[in-house]
Amino acid sequence: MRRRLARETPAVGPMRLARQKIADLSETGAYKARLVEARPIAFLAGAAMAGVYLGIGDVVLFTLGSYVGPAWSHVIMSVVLVATLTIVVSAGSELFIGAALVMPLAVLTRLSSVRGMLSVWFISWIGNLVGALSLAALVHFAGGGDLLVDGSTKFFSAVEARMSASAVQLLVGGALCNWLVCLAISMGQSAKNTTNKILVISLPIGFFVVLGLEALCVANMFTFALALIGDHPKTVTLTGAAHNLGWLTLGNLIGALAFAGPAYWLVCRKRMRLT
C-alpha cells in the first residue's frame, strides 16, 4: 500500500521548494530566538525600527488619502503597503507579524523552544510599540502634518471606526489579514533582488486591499498613538485602542498559526510520510 501511494505521489517540484522554504523560515526563527537571548536590546531596537517604518507608511497613506476620492483609495493603499513591507523585509527589521510566521516553524522543526518563541513574540511586539510611539511623538511635535490639520476629519473618523469594531470583526479580520501578509513576507524573503521583492509582495497585498482588510496590530499602534497624544474626539479613547490592539494581536497570531507556516509544515510532513 505504501509503495502504491509513493508511485501515485509526484515527487519533485513544488513540494521540494516548499520544504526548502520551511527550512529557511525555521532557521530565521531560530536566529531570532538566539538573538533575543544573547542581545535583547539589539533585537528590541530592530523591532522599534519596524514600528517606525509601518508608522511612516500610515502617515503617507492618510496624507494621500485625504486628497483623493474613494475610487483611488485602494490603489494608494496597495502601493503604500507594498512599499512599506518591502522596506521592512529589505532592512531586516523585526516585525511582530513576521515573528508570528517564523517562530512556530522554528518550534515545530525543533530549532527553538516554546519559551524562545514567546520571548521573540513579546519583545518584537513591545519593540514595534516603542517605535510607533516614538514616531507618533515626533510627528505630533512637528505639527502633525496633514493628518492633524487638513486631513484630521478623515483621520479621526478612521480611528473611531477601528476602535469601535467588534471583537469578532477584529479577530477574523486580523486572522485573514496576517494570513496574506505572512504570505507576502515569505515570498519577499525568497526574492533575490528588490525588484522581485516588490513584484511578489504586491500580489498578496493586492488581495488584502481588495478584501477591505485593515487589520494589522502594528500599523494601528502608530495611528492610535498619534490620535491620543493631542486633542481628539471623546470617542477616541485608550480603552478603545487597547480593545482593538488586543483582539487584532490575537487574530494576527491565529492567522499565522492556522493558515500560514504551520499549515505548510503539516502538508510537507504528511507528504514526506507518503513518499
Helical (H) or strand (E) element with 274: helix 261-274
Q: Tell me if 28 is assigned to some domain.
A: yes
Range of the domain at 235: 11-274
pTM: 0.83
Q: Tell me if 196 is assigned to some domain.
A: yes
pLDDT, residue 65, reads 72
Cell numbers linked to 40: 535583547
Q: What is the CA radius of gyration of the chain?
A: 20
Residue written as grid cell 509582495:
201
Phi-psi region of 233 (alpha: psi -120 to 50; beta: other; left: phi over 0): beta
DSSP letters spanning 239-255: HHHHHHHHHHHHHHHHI
Compute the distance between CA of residue 103 and CA of residue 95 in angstroms, rounded to an integer.
Answer: 12
Q: Tell me if 6 is assigned to some domain.
A: no
Structurally, the chain folds into a number of domains equal to 1
**221, 245 contact by CB (below 8 A):** yes
Instruction: Report the CATH number at residue 126.
Output: 1.20.1080.10
**201, 188 contact by CB (below 8 A):** yes
Q: Tell me if 204 is assigned to some domain.
A: yes
Q: Tell me if 40 is assigned to some domain.
A: yes
pLDDT, residue 129, reads 96
Q: Tell me if 2 is assigned to some domain.
A: no
Encode the chain (275 residues) as per-residue pLDDT tens digits: 334 434 444 444 555 666 777 888 889 899 999 999 999 999 999 999 999 998 988 888 888 777 777 667 777 777 888 788 788 877 778 889 889 988 998 998 899 999 999 999 999 999 999 999 999 999 988 887 767 766 678 888 889 989 999 999 999 988 888 888 888 877 777 767 777 777 877 777 777 777 776 667 888 999 999 999 988 888 999 999 999 999 999 999 998 887 777 767 776 665 544 44
Q: Tell me if 55 is assigned to some domain.
A: yes
Q: Tell me if 142 is assigned to some domain.
A: yes
Residue written as grid cell 502538508:
267
**179, 257 contact by CB (below 8 A):** no
Q: Torsion over CA of 266, 24, 252 and 85, rounded to 10 degrees?
A: -140
